[in-house]
């Protein structure tokens, strides 16, 4: 199918909104599958969008831009991959062939925009020191717009020209390239999972990791079920630790505990 102008506009706006939301209100932050879904909705094929969004979500699990580090732009990959897959009619593999590389480039776009925001911040402070407070506020507002462009521009270019490029590339591409890409798609979630293990007290609580593995790999319990078991363990641990803490504190003073 051919993209309509309104579809191009909506998808580009979606990509723009994505980075603005991720860096301001943060309602859909790290939610990649929703962008596959919404792109699918715009193109009238939500199930393809969901499937590609899910693949990207799994690929991105645990990959977090902690402390402002840049990360691959998985939702942009999902938006492009969904669009290409639906419009070219060549399925997920064609979509991923363009989506993944552009998503990986997202790291660079992020870095560039962070560099440009340096002078903006300095200019804003300059205005403040000249008592031009309104100018300070207004120039600060450029930053979210700039963030949005880092995803809107690659998406606009990819969905406008991507289909033809990808179709001609796919004709030349040897089989090992496309099948290698889908094998990589299967392996990449390991990166995120390893990163998660690094943030968490893995060595201290490795038993729980093993329990989760056994419940799922051997007993085939769905994730939601394992999460409930995990919640039960977490709740007991929390209660015990809080009790320990208040015991410790009551030795000094009769303080009250305010917990959330």
Partner 1 sequence: MKMSKQTPVLSKKDLRNASCRWFIGPSTFNYETQLAPSVVFALYPSLRKIYKDDDDLIQSINNHYKYFNTNPWVASLVLGAALAIEDENGLDALNTVQDFKVSLMGPLAGIGDTILWAMIPTIFGSIAAYMAQEGSPLGVYLWTALTIGFFFVRTRLFEVGYKQGVKMITEFGKHLTIFTEAVSVLGLMVVGAILPSTIALTTGITFKSGDVVMEIQPLLDVILPALLPVILVAIIYFLMSKKKIKMMTIILFIIILAMVGAATGILV
CB of 134 to partner 1, least distance (A): 10
Among 217, 247, 251, 253, binds partner 1 (CB under 8 A): 217
- Calpha distance 26→83 (Å, rounded): 24
CB of 39 to partner 1, least distance (A): 13
- Calpha distance 167→172 (Å, rounded): 9
- Residue 23 found at the interface with partner 1 (CB under 8 A): yes
Among 16, 36, 82, 106, binds partner 1 (CB under 8 A): 36
Among 11, 14, 37, 155, binds partner 1 (CB under 8 A): 37
- Calpha distance 105→77 (Å, rounded): 10
User: Is 22 within 8 Å of 28 (Cβ atoms)?
Assistant: yes
Using CB under 8 A as the binding rule, the residues of this chain from 173 to 202 that contact partner 1 are 174-177, 179-181, 183-191, 193-202
CB of 186 to partner 1, least distance (A): 3
Using CB under 8 A as the binding rule, the residues of this chain from 58 to 117 that contact partner 1 are 58, 60-68, 71-72, 104, 107, 114-115, 117
Terminal C-alpha separation, the chain: 52
State CA 65 to chain mean position distance: 9
- Residue 230 found at the interface with partner 1 (CB under 8 A): yes
User: Is 177 within 8 Å of 94 (Cβ atoms)?
Assistant: no
Q: What is the largest CA-CA distance in the chain?
A: 75
CB of 36 to partner 1, least distance (A): 8
Among 47, 247, 251, 252, binds partner 1 (CB under 8 A): 47
User: Is 70 within 8 Å of 107 (Cβ atoms)?
Assistant: yes
CB of 2 to partner 1, least distance (A): 26
Using CB under 8 A as the binding rule, the residues of this chain from 114 to 143 that contact partner 1 are 114-115, 117-118, 120-122, 124-125, 128-129, 131, 133, 136-137, 140-141, 143
CB of 6 to partner 1, least distance (A): 23
CB of 5 to partner 1, least distance (A): 27
User: Is 13 within 8 Å of 38 (Cβ atoms)?
Assistant: no
**Which is nearer to partner 1, 3 or 65 (by Cβ)?**
65
- Residue 234 found at the interface with partner 1 (CB under 8 A): yes
Kindly write down the DSSP assignment for every residue of 207-239, as one continuous string: HHHHHHHHHHHTT---HHHHHHHHHHHHHHHHH
Q: Give the count of beta carbons closer than 10 Å to the beta carbon of residue 123.
A: 15
DSSP, res 17 = H
């Amino acid at each position: 199918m051919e993209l309509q102008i309104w579809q191009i506009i909506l998808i580009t706006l979606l990509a723009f909104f994505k980075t603005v939301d991720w860096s301001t209100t943060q309602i859909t932050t790290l939610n990649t599958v929703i962008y596959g879904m919404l792109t699918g909705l715009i193109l009238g094929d939500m199930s393809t969008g969901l499937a590609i969004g899910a693949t990207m979500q799994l690929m991105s699990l645990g990959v977090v831009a902690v402390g402002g580090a840049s990360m691959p732009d998985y939702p942009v990959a999902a938006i492009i991959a969904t669009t290409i897959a639906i419009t070219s009619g060549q399925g997920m593999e064609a979509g991923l062939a363009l989506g993944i590389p552009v998503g990986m480039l997202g790291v660079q776009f992020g870095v560039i925009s962070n560099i440009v925001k340096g002078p903006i911040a300095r200019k804003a402070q300059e205005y403040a020191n000249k008592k031009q407070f309104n100018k300070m506020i207004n120039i600060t507002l450029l930053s979210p717009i700039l963030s949005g462009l880092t995803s809107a521009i690659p998406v606009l270019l990819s969905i406008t020209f991507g289909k033809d490029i990808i179709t001609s590339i796919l004709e030349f591409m040897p089989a090992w390239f496309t099948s290698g890409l889908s094998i990589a798609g299967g392996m990449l979630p390991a990166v995120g999972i390893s990163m998660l293990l690094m943030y968490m007290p893995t060595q201290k609580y490795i038993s729980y990791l093993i329990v989760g593995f056994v419940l799922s790999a051997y007993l085939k319990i769905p994730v939601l079920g394992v999460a409930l078991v995990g919640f039960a363990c977490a709740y007991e641990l929390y209660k015990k630790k809080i009790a320990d803490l208040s015991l410790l504190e009551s030795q000094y003073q009769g303080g009250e505990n305010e917990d959330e």
